[in-house]
Amino acid sequence: MSLIEITEVRKSFGTNEVLKGINIDVDPGEVIAIIGKSGSGKSTLLRCINGLETIDSGSIAVAGAQLLPDELHLRALRLKIGMIFQSFNLFPHLTAGKNVMLSQMVVKKVPTADAEATARKMLDRVGLAHKFDAYPEELSGGQQQRVAIARALAMQPMALLCDEITSALDPELVNEVLAVVKELAAEGMTLLMVTHEMRFARDVCTRVVFMHQGRVHEIGAPQDVFGDPKTPELKQFLGLQAA
């Protein structure tokens, strides 16, 4: 059974139809890269899956449960799916450790000691055990993004959505974040990631989705999508990327 079922999803901002009927099924453990030009609707799609945007029509189901736009269902959904943003969005007034602990304690009512233990474990997993007491502004961009990953993981989600999580990083820092993601993938985490790192998509992902003008233009295994693009749009996109 699919973990995430996206069926005929449409979404407009005003008169601008950004998603024009999207269908994707994601199986547990899949690692899917979403690629496409700026403005093709990649971020919007992820945000719809996580309920940050409401969809106009179609349906999204996670682990068999429909996404409904009321507070209760949304929160239940977000317990199953974590999201990581391009701009990290760490809570600047909390230490790295507290960032990871907060939602466990507030949402899941985990006792402080347990939350802290989990936080330490998660920070360790992203290689930042020693930064437990550092504030976000004391961390590099790559470290901040890894804390954001740890924070999402601490909620023990079934899947993670990643929206260009390395785009705001200096080139040297990109790899440390991608290494963490690669490890997650290897451990069987379901991942849906918008990315411009084609090499990474090719090496790590099980499937690649090429979005174009609000549609899934091509979808397939990385070797097919990258090695044998069918549509001129994808060819052009890949050509541009290589330049």
Ligand X SMILES: Nc1ncnc2c1ncn2[C@@H]1O[C@H](COP(=O)(O)OP(=O)(O)OP(=O)(O)O)[C@@H](O)[C@H]1O
Q: Which does 243 bind (CB under 5 to 8 A by kind): Mg ion, ligand X, its own copies, none?
A: its own copies
Binding residues for ligand X, per CB under 6 A? 13, 16, 18, 36, 38-44
Q: Are the C-beta atoms of residues 189 and 84 closer than 8 Å to each other?
A: no
If the CB atoms of residues 96 and 162 are measured against Mg ion, the closer one turns out to be 162
In the stretch 3-42, what mask flags binding to Mg ion with x, by CB under 5 A? ----------------------------------------
C-alpha distances (whole Å) from 116 to each of 61, 136, 161, 173 are 32, 17, 24, 27
Cβ atoms within 10 Å, residue 59? 13
Cα 223 vs. chain centroid, distance in angstroms?
22
Binding residues for its own copies, per CB under 8 A? 38, 170-172, 240, 243
Cα–Cα distance measured from residue 16 to residue 183, given in angstroms and rounded to the nearest whole number:
38
SS3 call for 31? strand
Cα–Cα distance measured from residue 50 to residue 172, given in angstroms and rounded to the nearest whole number:
30
- As given in the structure block, the two tokens for residue 7 are 């069926």
Q: Which does 172 bind (CB under 5 to 8 A by kind): ligand X, its own copies, Mg ion, none?
A: its own copies
> Helices (DSSP H) in the chain: which residue ranges?
42-49, 71-80, 96-107, 112-125, 141-153, 171-186, 198-204, 222-227, 232-242
CB of 240 to its own copies, least distance (A): 7
CB of 136 to other proteins, least distance (A): 8
Q: In this structure, is the dihedral angle defined by the CA atoms of residues 170, 154, 195 and 94, taken in order, positive or negative?
A: negative
Q: Which does 40 bind (CB under 5 to 8 A by kind): Mg ion, ligand X, other proteins, none?
A: ligand X
Q: Which does 212 bind (CB under 5 to 8 A by kind): Mg ion, ligand X, its own copies, none?
A: none
Q: Which does 216 bind (CB under 5 to 8 A by kind): ligand X, other proteins, its own copies, none?
A: none
If the CB atoms of residues 13 and 227 are measured against ligand X, the closer one turns out to be 13
CA dihedral 31, 36, 39, 40 (to 10 degrees): -80
Which parts of 35-94 interact with Mg ion (CB under 5 A)? 43
Binding residues for other proteins, per CB under 8 A? 50-52, 71, 74-76, 78-79, 81-83, 85, 87, 89-94, 102-103, 106-107, 135, 137, 148, 151-152, 155
